[in-house]
Chain A
C-alpha cells in the first residue's frame, strides 16, 4: 500500500504550482477574466510547452501517456490557482471524447493540435431539458448521403465561446430518453449553420448556447460507432468526475488554508478570532471535511487505475462528498471572513463559486446520491 505521488507526478505538481505563484497572481487572473476572451492564449501556449495539455493522451497519439493520477495532480493544482484557462473542457472533456471515440485519422488530426495548444475544444452534451440525464437528447443527426445533417441546440457548453472544434452528442435513432441511438460528431465551430449565444458564468467560465441548423457533416465527422456513443460518454464522464473532484480538493484545501490564516491574523475583542473555541472547532470540522474528501478521491483513483467499472460506486460517493463538504467549507470560509467574505474583491468568493459550479457539473450531490443508492443497494 502506498499513497505517495511519484517523483514525476511531484514534478508536474511543482511546475503548475510555480506557474501559479509566478505568473498567475490574483490581479493577473482578474485581468484575464475581464479580458475579451476571458482566457490567456499566451498561458495556453505555456501549458502546451510545459506538456500539461498532453498528459492524459497516449504516447501513440503524441501524448504523455499519463494515468488518472497524473490527471488528478494537474486538476488539483489548477484548482488551487483557480486557473480559468479551459483545461477541463478542452483536454478532459473534448480530448477525452476524441481519444476514446475517434479512429486513428481523427485522433491524429485533432489530438496533436490539442496537445500543441492550437485547438481549443468543447463537448456539447447539455440540452435545455436534460439537466443531468445525458441520455435525454432531442438533438438529431439524420443520415444524408454519406454524411449527416445536424439539427438542434446544446446549452451551457463549457468553453463554447472560444472552442474551435466541438464534440457534439446527437440522436441518430430512438426516442428522447433512449440509451441506444446516441452518436458523437466532430463539428467545426465555424461550420455553416452553427450559431451561438455566449455568456459568462459565475466561476469565470465562458460558455455558449449553440444552435445547429441543418449543419452538413461528412461521414468522417462521426466519432465512434453510430448509435453507440453512451458507453464512451459514460467513460469520459467518470474520468471527468474524478478530474473535477481533484480540482475541488485543491480548492477546498486552499479555502481552508486561507481561512485558517485569516482567523490567526484578524483581531476582534483584542485577540485573534482564531483564539475563540467556537471558531476553532469549526476550523477542525472543515479540516476533517477536506481530509475525508481527499481520502475518497484516493480510493477512487486506486480503483479507477485497476478497473473503471469497480470505481463506479466510489465516484458517485465522491461527488456526494465533494458537494456536501464543499458547501461546508466554502460556507465557513465566507462566514469567517465576515464582511470581507461577501466582496467581489476577495478571492474567497471566487473559489466558492468555482466549487459551486463543480457541484453543478455532471450531476450534483442529490443526483449522485441516487446513483450511489442504485449502484450499491439495488444489487444487495
Chain B
C-alpha cells in the first residue's frame, strides 16, 4: 500500500505541467471557445507536434508508450486545467479498432491521418429503434460486386456535422442470432446518399444528429475485421470507452469551481460556503469522490500490472457519471435564479452573473452521460451478469 509517485513520475508530472501551462495559453483557450471544431483540431495538432496526442496508442503507431501511471498523471493535469479531452471517435475509438482488427492497408491509410487530426470521425452505432439493445440494429449492408450498399439510419451521432468519416455497425446477415451478421465498416461521409439531420439537444445546442443512408455505396475493403463479426469488434471498443469514463479529475475540477463559486455567493450576507446545509451537500459529493478516486487507482494498478479492464470498469462509469451530474446540479443551485439563463453570450456585467448559463448548459448536456456509451442500466446489467454471476 503506497500512493507516492516515483522520482521519474514526478519529473514526468513537471514536464506535463510545464507543457500544458505553456501551450494551453490564452490564445488557444480563445480559439477553443470561438472556433468550435476547428479550435479543437488546432489543439489536437499541437498535441501531435509534441507527440502526446495518443496516450493510448502503442509507440509503433505514433503513441506515447506511457505507463498507466503516466497516463493517469496526464489525464489529471489536463482535467484540472479544464482542458478538453481529444475528440474520442477517431483517436480513441476507431483507431483502437483499426489497430486490433484492421488490415495493413487500413492501418497505413487511416492511422497517420487520425494522428494528425486530418479526418474528423463520428460513431454510427445507435439507431432510432436500437438504443440499449444495440444488437437489434437494422441498418442493412448488401453486397454488390466489390461494394456494399447501405440503407438505414443512425442516431445520436455526435459531431456528424463536422465528420469526414463515420464508423458503423451494419447488418450483413439476418439469418442467425441478432449478434451475428453484424459488420463493422468505415464510411466516407462525402459518399452519395448520406444525409445529416441535426438534432437540437436538451442543452439547446447542436451536437447530435441523425445520419440517413440512402443506397450509400461503400467499398468492401472498408470492412474492419471479419464480415459478420462486428459485434465482437464493437464489444472490444465499448470496453475501451468505459475505462476512461470515471472522469475523477474532471469531477475534482468541478468541486474546485463549486467551492470558489460558493465562497463568493452570499445569502442574506452569509457566504453560501458557510451555510451548514450547503456544506452538507458538498460533503456528500466529496466523500463519494474521494472513494471513486481510489477505485479508479485500483483499476489503474491492475492494468499497470498487465491486467485488462474487465467488467468491473462499469463501476467507474456509473459512479463517475452520477458524481459528475451531482456536481453539475450543485453548480446550478449556486447560480440560484441565474441557473435558468438561456443566452450563452450575454455580458456578465449586464446580466449580473458569471456562470449561470454555462452551468445550465453543462448540467443539461451532462444528462446524456448516464445514457451514452451503454446506459447506466446496461452497465448494471453487465456487472450483475459478469461480476456477480446473476442470470
Question: A-side interface residues toward B, CB under 8 Å?
Answer: 126, 128-129, 131-133, 135-136, 153, 155-156, 176-177, 197, 199-203, 205, 209, 267-270, 273, 278-279, 327, 331, 334-335, 338-339, 341-345, 349, 352-353, 356-357, 360-361, 364, 366-367, 369-370
Contact = CB atoms under 8 A, between A and B. Distances in A.
A364 B333 contact: yes
B136 A342 contact: no
B61 interface: no
A349 B278 CA distance: 26
Contact of B340 (A177, A202, A279): A202
A361 B267 contact: no
Contacts of A136: 266-269
Candidate in A131, A176, A205 with the most chain B CB atoms within 10 angstroms = A131
Nearest to A365: B333
26 contacts: A133-B267, A136-B266, A176-B269, A201-B341, A202-B340, A205-B340, A268-B132, A268-B133, A273-B132, A334-B202, A335-B375, A339-B126, A339-B371, A344-B200, A344-B201, A344-B202, A345-B199, A345-B200, A353-B340, A356-B340, A357-B340, A360-B332, A360-B335, A364-B336, A366-B281, A367-B267
B131 A338 contact: yes
A327 B328 CA distance: 13
- Across the A-B interface, give the 9 residue pairs with the lowest CB-CB distance, nearest first: A133-B268, A268-B133, A201-B340, A128-B352, A349-B202, A344-B200, A156-B337, A131-B267, A200-B342
Contacts of B281: 366
Contacts of A352: 202
Contact of A199 (B202, B268, B343): B343
A368 to B, nearest CB: 10
Contacts of B199: 343-345
Given A131-B265, A209-B350, A370 B367 contact: no
Interface string B218-229: 000000000000
A341 B380 contact: no
B158 to A, nearest CB: 11
Contacts of A343: 199-202, 208
Contact of B367 (A126, A268, A269, A341): A341
Contact of B371 (A129, A202, A342, A345): A342
Candidate in A155, A199, A327, A357 with the most chain B CB atoms within 10 angstroms = A199
Interface in B107-140: 126, 129-133, 136
Contact of B351 (A133, A209, A349): A209
A378 B58 CA distance: 64
Nearest to A133: B268
Given A132-B267, A132-B336, A360-B339, A327 B200 contact: no
Candidate in B129, B269, B335, B376 with the most chain A CB atoms within 10 angstroms = B269
A90 B132 CA distance: 45
Contacts of B306: none
A95 B276 CA distance: 36
A160 to B, nearest CB: 12
Given A338-B132, A345-B200, A356-B340, 15 more contacts: A156-B340, A177-B268, A199-B341, A199-B342, A199-B351, A201-B340, A201-B342, A202-B340, A273-B132, A338-B371, A343-B199, A352-B202, A356-B339, A364-B336, A366-B333
A334 B339 contact: no
Contacts of A344: 199-202, 204
B338 interface: yes
Interface in B25-57: none
B268 A202 contact: no
B277 A366 contact: yes
A258 to B, nearest CB: 15
A360 B371 contact: no
Contacts of B126: 339
Contact of A335 (B329, B336, B370): B370
Given A278-B377, A339-B156, A344-B201, A361 B367 contact: no
Contacts of A342: 201-202, 208, 364, 367-368, 371
A129 B371 CA distance: 37
A370 B276 CA distance: 9
Contacts of A177: 268-269
Interface in B318-352: 329, 332-333, 335-343, 346, 350-352
B156 to A, nearest CB: 5
A128 B356 CA distance: 12
Contacts of A349: 202, 364
A202 B360 contact: yes
B337 A370 contact: no
B202 A341 contact: yes
Contacts of A369: 277
A156 B338 contact: yes
B228 to A, nearest CB: 21
A270 B135 CA distance: 11
Contacts of B342: 199-202
Given A278-B380, A339-B371, A367-B267, A361 B202 contact: no
B316 interface: no
B199 to A, nearest CB: 6
B269 A334 contact: no
Nearest to B339: A360
A155 B202 contact: no
A361 B155 CA distance: 36
Contacts of A133: 267-269
B275 A366 contact: yes
A41 B202 CA distance: 27
A131 B266 contact: yes
B143 interface: no
B353 interface: yes
Contacts of B360: 202
Nearest to B381: A278
B337 A155 contact: yes
Interface in B346-387: 346, 350-353, 360, 364, 367-368, 370-371, 375-377, 380
